[in-house]
Chain A
């Protein structure tokens, strides 16, 4: 049977990808952050699952106001890096896993989670930057990927609790997949940041620390946060943190924290990453 082994949370700031793509990671602005990536990458090098479910959001790239879904599963054979306005990132094509993706869709819908489905979807920095953070610059990505796209831009987003419950339903689906494969799950986005408005640049390390601590020891506490709690305390774009709840919901009740990284600033954000293993 399939086995869900570990989860990662990470921000997906486009600047991180741009710094790598343009060879700027040794510059003083980036050096400390990329130094912090070294242990994270070492862990990933030793723990490559057959398939990784990446929970992320599209940023007005492949979805827009004319069509968007609250939760959408990518079932294609492969996904191209998207042109987000400055040409596609020169990173490998993302290989999908349609068999597990369709199993997830079937299982989740019968489990009352009505997923939208796409077979035609270019993936933006929300997905490719976490890949670059974990795997650096390989010729081929070492893991197959199932993109799970969450609307975090158009209000109302799904609730923090709904995201956690979706993670639990994903776990039930993975546990019932008959092939002997390993599966990882990543929640991306965050941590505290606000990009738009007169308050742009607001960050909240205390809130971020509470969220990360809860993620390890008391994940249900993070499901009680309202949309306005996130907007007020973590910035309008900090609401992306609900996607980490999907990841956490899919893990065991008790997890082992393997690595944590927190750094201000990355562009206008507080960067965070955490690796959690099932016991």
Chain B
């Protein structure tokens, strides 16, 4: 696998050729939720709808669990997972908070942003943050 200089940026998932291939069907499932009739079908029986896409069982389970950080690890991109959180009629800060390390509630994430956001200092590189 070809490494990239941005691999050193902590807590960051770049949609590149590696995640493109790993997450293709997962992301295309997410994309399908742009259509009202697909949202209805997904709402009726989530697992049955997920079975229509040639995803891995692990990817399907992460969707069912709304395990957003796991979805990114399995190749999803945040603009695609956005479709799930929209389907759930939740504000995106719910997803951002769940992905954060350590995880935060909607209120905690909102408060961090109101207080100026997550600081860049200490978060530029895995070496700097020490936690990868």
Could you say which residues of chain B place their CB within 8 Å of the CB of A200? 11, 96-97, 99-100, 109, 118
B39 touches A85 (CB 8 A): yes
Could you say which residues of chain A place their CB within 8 Å of the CB of B47? none
**Interface status of B2 (Cβ within 8 A of chain A):** no
Could you say which residues of chain B place their CB within 8 Å of the CB of A155? 14-17
Stretch of B49-57, B58-66, B81-89 with 4 or more beta carbons under 8 angstroms from chain A: B81-89
Could you say which residues of chain B place their CB within 8 Å of the CB of A204? 120
A202 touches B35 (CB 8 A): no
User: Given A64-B28, A65-B28, A233-B120, 11 more contacts at CB 8 Å?
Assistant: A197-B13, A197-B99, A198-B11, A200-B118, A202-B120, A202-B123, A231-B9, A232-B8, A267-B92, A268-B96, A270-B117
**Interface status of A153 (Cβ within 8 A of chain B):** yes
| Measured CA separation A22–B87 after assembly (Å) | 18
A197 touches B28 (CB 8 A): no
By secondary structure, the A interface counts as loop
B54: shortest Cβ distance to chain A, in Å? 14
B20 touches A196 (CB 8 A): no
**Interface status of B12 (Cβ within 8 A of chain A):** yes
Contact residue among A154, A196, A268 (Cβ-Cβ distance under 8 Å from B13): A196
**Interface status of A59 (Cβ within 8 A of chain B):** yes
Please encode chain A, from 42 to 67, with 1 for each CB lying within 8 Å of some chain B CB and 0 for all others: 00000000000000000111001110
By secondary structure, the B interface counts as helix
| Measured CA separation A84–B20 after assembly (Å) | 21
Q: What number of B residues sit within 8 Å (CB to CB) of A? A: 55
| Measured CA separation A204–B79 after assembly (Å) | 21
| Measured CA separation A29–B91 after assembly (Å) | 14
Could you say which residues of chain A place their CB within 8 Å of the CB of B82? 59-60, 85, 195
* Residue ranges of B at the interface with A (Cβ–Cβ < 8 Å): 4-6, 8-17, 20, 24, 27-28, 30-31, 33-36, 39, 69, 72, 77-83, 86-87, 89, 92-93, 96-97, 99-101, 109, 112-114, 116-120, 123-125
Q: Which of B87, B101, B118 is the most central at the interface, judged by chain A CB atoms within 10 Å of its CB?
A: B118
A199 touches B118 (CB 8 A): yes
B27 touches A65 (CB 8 A): yes
23 residue pairs of the A-B complex, CB under 8 angstroms, read: A59-B79, A60-B27, A60-B34, A65-B24, A65-B31, A154-B16, A155-B17, A195-B78, A196-B12, A196-B13, A196-B77, A198-B69, A198-B101, A199-B9, A199-B118, A202-B117, A202-B119, A204-B120, A231-B6, A232-B124, A264-B117, A265-B114, A268-B92
B44: shortest Cβ distance to chain A, in Å? 17
B92 touches A231 (CB 8 A): no
**Interface status of A259 (Cβ within 8 A of chain B):** no
7 nearest A-B pairs in the assembled complex, by CB-CB distance = A198-B11, A196-B78, A199-B11, A198-B101, A265-B113, A203-B117, A85-B86
